[in-house]
Chains A and B, each alone.
Chain A
Amino acid sequence: MTDQGEPLGPAPSVRAGVVAMLPITVGVVPFGLIAGIAATDAGLGLAEAVGFSVVIFAGAAQLAALDLIGRDAPLLVVIGTVLIINLRMLMYSAGLAPRLADQSRARRLAGAYWLTDQTFAVSIVRFDDDRAAPVARWWFYTGAGLALWSVWQTSTIVGVVAGETVPEVVPLGFALPLAFLSLLVPTLTDRPAVVAAVVAGTVAVAAAPLPANAGMPLAAVLGILTGWLLSAREDRKVRA
């Protein structure tokens, strides 16, 4: 064991979590703004925009849902898309669970609400850093979650208000695919990911006339399967 002294208490740990999250919230603000703007654009109001941000609290899934609602997609397609996009959080839940195993179940279940790409990344990095002072983990995680949550809700509200005042010539609906684009680029880390994206994009364009927006989920599934097959084949080659 490395000698790092006593772990920080709850209050300093919360503070450390907030401080670790702050730089990351800068990158989250544009998505919060767009979540607000997209709600307005889809014909919804402030209550719905905040409802999405409080209840779902996951950027990409919210934006996708608003996009689909604006195009009159059926309810099941909207809900299914939210759940598919958020399935990745299974990995975060599994990654965090052993590191919070000593916490009470109530704390773990409450903390699940804060679990996002950002809180996961910030917490794992700190928990696994042997050189940093040890923190009270659940409190650090909660501080990081609270900081992100506050920024997310605030920027959603600002987005709703701003969306109503932007001049007509700005094609605000186009901000949504652009926001998705900036989320997409960092995920293209290897060949299977690029292939999954190219296949999904191509199928989605070809299948766009299908009723009930069925083309979108179909395209995503085909993209994932193709990338998965390619990845399995590459693995076999490495082993051979």
Chain B
Amino acid sequence: MSRVQLAWVALLAGGFGTYLIRASFLAMAHRVAQIPERWRTPLRLIPPAVLAALIAPAVLRPAGVVTLLGPRPLAALAALGVALWTRSVIATIVVGLAAAIGLEALFG
């Protein structure tokens, strides 16, 4: 399967499944629609866990070797500071990219 074909299968299947999730409770709104209390915590923890699992290897292991003091980790650290401080998406991405370019040049 080519990458383009894989992308189409993934987006159609992922989109269909996502629609079923969206429609789940809305489809039966006339009945009692409640998520049990005990399932709320794991649902709430999905975004932080998944996002961290995507970020960490891209930052700390960009080329297959764990690097803590390279351009990427330091640039990500700067971006994290900006994200915590400003909560601005644009500022986070711009500062992170600029830092990566600068540090990449510095580390050569």
Contact = CB atoms under 8 A, between A and B. Distances in A.
Contact of B25 (A81, A90, A228): A90
Interface string B55-86: 11111110010100000100110011001100
A230 to B, nearest CB: 10
B8 interface: yes
B50 A200 contact: yes
Nearest to A82: B14
Interface string A76-101: 00110111111111111110111011
Contact of A108 (B26, B66, B75): B26
Contacts of B25: 90, 93-94, 96-97
Nearest to A235: B41
A30 interface: yes
A115 interface: yes
Contacts of A57: 15, 18
B45 interface: yes
Given A85-B50, A98-B29, A79 B17 contact: yes
B46 A181 contact: no
Contacts of A169: 101
B23 A109 contact: yes
Contact of B52 (A56, A91, A100, A201): A201
Given A30-B90, A82-B17, A197-B51, A69 B6 contact: yes
B7 A198 contact: no
Given A204-B52, A220-B50, A56 B15 contact: yes
Contact of A201 (B14, B28, B46, B53): B53
Interface string A188-226: 100011101111111111001100000111011101100
The A interface is mostly helix, strand or loop, or mixed, namely helix
A87 B52 contact: no
Contacts of A186: 87
A84 to B, nearest CB: 6
B42 interface: yes
Contact of A204 (B24, B47, B53, B96): B53
Interface in A81-136: 81-94, 96-98, 100-101, 103, 105, 108-109, 111-113, 115
A203 B10 CA distance: 25
Contact of B29 (A108, A178, A194, A219): A108
A79 B14 contact: yes
A200 B56 CA distance: 9
A94 B15 CA distance: 19
Given A83-B17, A113-B19, A178-B96, 12 more contacts: A30-B90, A48-B4, A57-B15, A72-B3, A85-B50, A103-B29, A177-B59, A196-B48, A197-B48, A200-B49, A205-B60, A227-B49
8 contacts: A88-B47, A90-B24, A112-B19, A176-B58, A179-B93, A182-B89, A193-B44, A224-B45
